Amino acid sequence: MTSPVNIIVGSHVWAEDPVSAWIDGQVNRIDGQNVHIQTKNGKKIVANISKVFPKDTEAAPGGVDDMTKLSYLHEPGVLQNLATRYELNEIYTYTGNILIAINPFQRLPHLYDTHMMEQYKGAGLGELSPHVFAIADVAYRAMMNEGKSNSILVSGESGAGKTETTKMLMRYLAHLGGRTGVEGRTVEQQVLESNPVLEAFGNAKTVRNNNSSRFGKFVEIQFDRSGRISGAAIRTYLLERSRVCQISYPERNYHCFYHLCAAPPEEREKYKLGPPESYSFLNQSKCYKLDGVSDAEEYLATRRAMDIVGISEADQDAIFRVVASVLHLGNIEFSKGKEIDSSGIKDDKSRFHLNTTAELLKCDPKSLEDAMIKRVMVTPEEIITRTLDPEAALGSRDALAKTIYSRMFDWIVQKINNSIGQDPNSKAIIGVLDIYGFESFKHNSFEQFCINFTNEKLQQHFNQHVFKMEQEDYEKEEINWSYIEFVDNQDVLDLIEKKPGGIIALLDEACMFPKSTHETFAQKLYQTFGKNKRFIKPKLSRTNFTIAHYAGEVTYLADLFLDKNKDYVVAEHQDLLTASKCSFVASLFPALPEDSSKSSKFSSIGSRFKLQLQSLMETLSHTEPHYIRCVKPNNVLKPAIFESENVIQQLRCGGVLEAIRISCAGYPTRRTFDEFLLRFGLLAPEALEGNSDDKVACQLILDRMGLKGYQLGKTKVFLRAGQMAELDTRRSEVLGNAARTIQRQIRTYIARKEFVSLRHAAIKLQSCWRAISACEFYAELRRESASLKIQKNFRRYIARKSYLTLQDSAVRVQAGMRAMIARTEFRFRKQTKASIKIQAQWRGHREYSYYKNLQKAAVVTQCGWRARVARRELRMLKSAARETGALKEAKDKLEKKVEELTWRVQFEKRLRTELEETKSQEIAKLQEALHSMQIQVEEANARVVKEQELARKAIEEAPPIIKETPVMVQDTAKIDALSAEVENLKASLLSEKLAAEEATKACSDAEARNTDLAKKLEEAGAKVDQLQDSVQRLEEKLSNSESENQVLRQQALTMSPTGKAISARSRTMIVQRTPDNGNILSGETKTNNDLTLAIVNPKEPESEEKPQKSLNEKQQDNQDLLIKCISQDLGFSGGKPVAACIIYKCLLHWRSFEVERTTVFDRIIQTISSSIEVADNNDVLAYWLCNTSTLLMLLQHTLKASGAASLTPQRRRSSSASLFGRMSQGLRATPQSASGIPFLNGRTLGRLDDLRQVEAKYPALLFKQQLTAFLEKIYGMIRDNLKKEISPLLGLCIQAPRTSRSSLVKGRAQANAIAQQALIAHWQSIVRSLDAYSKTMKANYVPAFLVRKIFTQMFSFINVQLFNSLLLRRECCSFSNGEYVKAGLAELEQWCLFATEEYAGSAWDELKHIRQAVGFLVIHQKPKKTLNEITNELCPVLSIQQIYRISTMYWDDKYGTHSVSSDVSHFKYSSHDDRGLEQRSEQFISVRRRLKHSILCR
């Protein structure tokens, strides 16, 4: 991969970068071997020309699927191609027939479904996009066609996705060769289900991977002659036994331990297990759970997988007993014993775990204890028993745990193989190797040594295979080639496995000597391999050593090499577990013959692993290998992150770059003849003229360029490294020369064109200038002639103007003088009139102020005098109250006052009745007089008309004057008589008119008197009402006086010897009241104690002994009791709120509405405010919404403003604009309003029409306004809570998820039903929210019209949100998305039907915009719909602009149909004028604004 020398200034190149590995830029300057490069991020760097590689500027933007197609096959080109494809979620890329798989760290189910398997079935390699199925299909087809076994080697570091890739391979092979097995379980199903079992017991979380395989696995899938799976076998390599006892943060132990701790309670009780934190083998790391993984579910899945692979229930129970015993075994601790270097069980907790372990393994607890803390040494003379110290005992315990677990894992693998079964007559096999990749950690031990040894072996096999493929490609094209050298790692393998001087051999030798330590082993390595170039000794360590592997240097810690290499079971452990009563445990440790232990040779993990690896390599050598290199793009295990440095290192470790280097050593650039001629044909155009043979044309081009060393195959051109860059340089030079020639011709043409244009312009300019000079001369002559005429006319005009100005000035001066005189006169008269008015007003104000002061002084004097008289009377009453006779006399006076007031009320009623009767009689008389007057006026008018007719006729009948005769005197007399008669008639007519005017005046006077009488009648009615109120006040004063008298009487009785009898009689007199004065009878009882807070209970014995409290203290106590009562949830009685009724009755009883100052209203408001502080408690809000609305309605029908009865209609009209006004109107409109709304039961309140109105003072009116504000506030809080709850769901409801949408299109009926149910989950969440709020408000008896208003506004909000999202987002205007929204709207419609019209109201109609828009999306045959059908039938509510926007954004992702026809799509510009378009363009905003303003404004 050496850099070509054909790099010139301006070339695009790749240079090394410490952050991103490689960075692209452009060459600015070349100084010898140094190249100055301007990078794409603006930096300037200098690099050696040997480390700079050319960049292909014509590469495909999406990369190439096979990297052998790259124009420049080098390291930065490979890295850029992989990064480009990874950004497009193309995780698979070929390098020849090697597949590179980059872990996406996310689920891509569309890549691995059955449809994708069918596509790759039978397809050749390279026909479709790179895929793991393609590799599996090639292996399967090669096996079937050639009859030879194949193998697929999956490698990569931890977290690169090897295990998942292996699963996909096995799934595809099972899909191709499925066959029914024994007892209904298929072989392929057992093979696939063996993965969860092996992962549970052999996988664990590491630093780099949450599900890292801690063992190697080679799965042999056997096929018969028909290509069906006939058997399978699983081989495992080097299980990491040390992980059972030792883990570090943030790693975890094997999954099965955590699965068992999360098992069902009965299972954990069975094995006496607790949480993972309580076990020593698990709590060494604080990581107990994996993100997104449930250990409880994984436990059940493992159980099911064990059932499928054929492990019986008894064996499963035994397996998990062993797993639990290992956990308990780890909690056994040891302490120093009484003797030197001895140990014993530490405490009772350790003893409990010891007994539990023995119980689970079914062995003797004492024997288990001795096996861990004692060792038996057999000598020829005697048998010696030695006790271990605590540290050695812990080592013995850990060795026992590791041995038990490794034996159990081997048994599970063997059981799976036996259950699956193997076919001895199979035709061929396909082996899938899933083995750990190259590992290099901060601390590397024996496990990493074996893993890297395995990768060295596989890398050698890989290099040989790649070299072989290169040779096959050359032979296929029939070109001459020579031997290509490649890096061989045989020296590293000799360093590790060579006998007798390899590291493994030295390790086995050290293990056989009892006195060997890790230090002696390290020194032996230093002495043996001190001069080996692959072996390095660290300077600051005595036990570490470093090996230079093909992927890099790795430093190993030799401290635990000896312990981990020993592969033998302690005799005491063997005897203990062989004697177990559990058959499963005993089968794990079969008894050894007595002579076998003595004659057996030493066995080690390293030697056994080397033999297994040799067997694996022999198997692979007899198969046709296929390679899959898994790459981890980043270390944070997250998608869409590509760390270039990390990927480059993995490509080096995986040998991919080595394969590329091998390709570069031969002919790395290969192009077909067509591609070569298309790109480089311009270098020799004559080669393309008249030459039909592409190979000959390519030969001519290469010869003309003077290239050496290339080869022409049958279909391709093979170029050496650097020749492609040289051809590109020549091509750039040719293109540059051609561009310069074109530029020269273009510049000549442009200059010639500019010259001709300038010459033509100069000729035109000269011609125009001569014409302008002539025109100017002629214009000068005209100006001279015109100037003479202008001067003459101007002088005349000046003279005329001066005369007219002088005349106008004289007229204006005269008019101004006259106006000034008139204004002076008018101002004087106005000032005189104003002064008179000011004097009158001042005198009136002075007299009125004097009168008001006098009146105020009189009132103050009267009040003072009345107070003095009242105090005097009070003292007299107190003195008189001490005597019984005085009390009787006071009572009689009060009764007389009551009777007198009753008589006055009846008298006022009679007076009112008489006034009404008199009024009606006077009105009748006036109407009769008016009628008679009108008749007389009509008769007089008729007579006047008749007289006028007679006069006219007489004048007409008079003969004309012809001549002077004596008769003339008589005619004149007649005319005089007639004239006199006419005058008389006019006089009579005038008199009749005067009489009619007098009658009309009398009628108007009568009407005025009638109006005065009506006003007096109204005033009398008002006075009657005031008198009734006064009577009620007097009655209340009477009751208060009786209460005071009772107190005085009790005080008097304390001084009297007959006090008991008198007090008893007085109590009886006070309690027994008649219905006439409005008090309750003695026999009537109160069921609700809260409604009688102000009534003294006569049955209390304390009232006889203690004096009654003062009136203010009693009112304060009553208020406290009321506040305490309403602070609790009193609930409802008969569907009506009890708290509102209690408040209303108490305020009405205390007459709090009529007082000028009181604190009860503020305390009620504070109580309500404190109750609704928690805005999220909808139940409390609904409860107080019902109470406040009920109380406000009662106040609306009870209170009236004092002295403003005439203003009530105006106030009601103004209040209708608020929420309460609309509420009262809604209540009046309901059917119950005709008969009064029975808010409470009959014993508390009756109908609203029967409520007595009270003149409210300012505190009561303020309380009503505050109550209205709280009603609106609670209403808004409930509405906002509902809006806040459904707002996040609306964003999810407008667009269906893509995965769910695709599953609906391609899935089956059952899958469709499940997907449909998942799709409408968000809509169902909205419906559940609406149901919850509806039930809450119904449970709290909120008025139905308020519930309707809330849901109407919520549906308007939903309509606005969904409709605006539909118009603004194109991805929402699809057919499948329309079906999704339509299904959700159907859910809302079902809810409206279920909620009934009483509570839902017209909410469904608020969704008309989104309903019609969705209906337009899902309708079929849109091109056949006309404009009239769309606007009038389908979408009558939507505007033209909105329909046009939806039709242009529509796309059918389900059936692929088109939108509306072109005629309809152009209606926006052909059907309406500009003004209509402007109005419709604003309709989108106006709809939203209108719906938004429909929400309640505060």
212 carries an active-site annotation: yes
CA contacts within 13 A on the Cβ side of 631? 30
Which tokens in the block code for residue 65?
């699927």
The verdict on whether omega for the bond into residue 500 sits within 30 degrees of 0, i.e. cis, is yes
Only one residue has tokens 């009756």, namely: 1246
CA distances from 1328 to 131, 931, 938, 1321, 1323 (A): 45, 75, 81, 10, 9
| C-beta separation of 593 from 120 below 8 A | no
Whole-Å CA distances, 847 to 843, 844, 851, 853: 6, 5, 6, 10
Of these residues, 3, 97, 209, 1336, which one is catalytic? 209
CA angle 1010, 1015, 1016 (to 5 degrees): 95
Instruction: State whether residue 670 is helix, strand or coil.
Output: strand
Q: Distance (Å, rounded) from C-alpha 1478 to C-alpha 6?
A: 65
Distance CA 82, CA 91 (A): 8
Report the largest interatomic distance among the alpha carbons of the chain, rounded to a whole angstrom.
207
Report the C-alpha gap between 1325 and 378 in whole angstroms.
Answer: 77
Exactly one of 163, 1045, 1178, 1187 is catalytic; which is it? Answer: 163
Separation CA 437–CA 458 (nearest Å)? 10
User: Which CA distances in Å does 1232 have to 996, 1188, 1248?
Assistant: 56, 19, 10
Of 158, 565, 669, 1158, which one is the catalytic site residue?
A: 158
- Catalytic entry in 156, 330, 431, 437: 437
Is residue 1040 part of the annotated active site? The answer reads: no
Cβ–Cβ < 8 Å for 662, 467: yes
CA 1029/CA 1200 separation, integer angstroms: 14
Q: How far apart are CA 204 and CA 201, in angstroms?
A: 8
The whole-angstrom separation of Cα 289 and Cα 298 is 12
Q: Amino acid identity, residue 459?
A: Q
Q: How far is residue 257's CA from residue 319's CA, in Å, rounded to a whole number?
A: 12
Report residue 1156 as tokens.
Answer: 């000028």
Q: If you count DSSP H runs as helices and E runs as strands, how many of each does the chain have, helices first?
A: 49, 28
Count of Cβ atoms closer than 10 Å to residue 1267 Cβ:
22
Tell me how far apart the alpha carbons of residues 7 and 728 are, in angstroms, rounded to a whole number.
10
Task: For residue 1202, indicate whether it is catalytic.
Answer: no
What is the amino acid identity at position 587? S
Angstrom CA distances, 1069 to 76, 340, 879, 1416, stand at 114, 107, 22, 83
Whether 787 is a known active-site residue: answer no
- Please answer whether residues 726 and 6 qualify as being in contact, where contact means their C-beta atoms are separated by less than 8 angstroms: yes
Catalytic residue (one of 25, 159, 502, 722):
159
Residue of 93, 95, 149, 212 with catalytic role: 212
The reply to whether 437 belongs to the active site is yes
Amino acid at 288: Y
For tokens 């390291």, the residue is 75
Residue 15, SS3 per DSSP = strand
Q: What angle do CA 240, 244, 249 make, to 5 degrees?
A: 95
Q: Is 439 a catalytic residue?
A: yes
> CA nearest 644: which of 439, 551, 627, 652?
652
**Which residue is catalytic, options 165, 203, 213, 607?**
213
Residues sharing a CB contact under 8 Å with residue 573, sequence separation 6 or more, in sequence order: 371, 399, 400, 403, 589
Annotated active-site residue 213? The verdict is: yes
Distances (CA, A) of 116 to 240, 993, 1453: 37, 114, 20
Q: Which residues pair with 376 in a beta bridge?
A: 385
Looking up tokens 């030969």, which residue turns up?
A: 699
Tell me how far apart the alpha carbons of residues 1287 and 40 are, in angstroms, rounded to a whole number: 45
3-state SS class at 338: coil
Tokens of 1344: 């139905």
CA distances from 419 to 74, 177, 183, 413, 1416 (A): 49, 19, 11, 10, 60
Active site residue 42: no
Q: Which residues are part of the catalytic machinery?
A: 158-159, 163, 209, 212-213, 437, 439
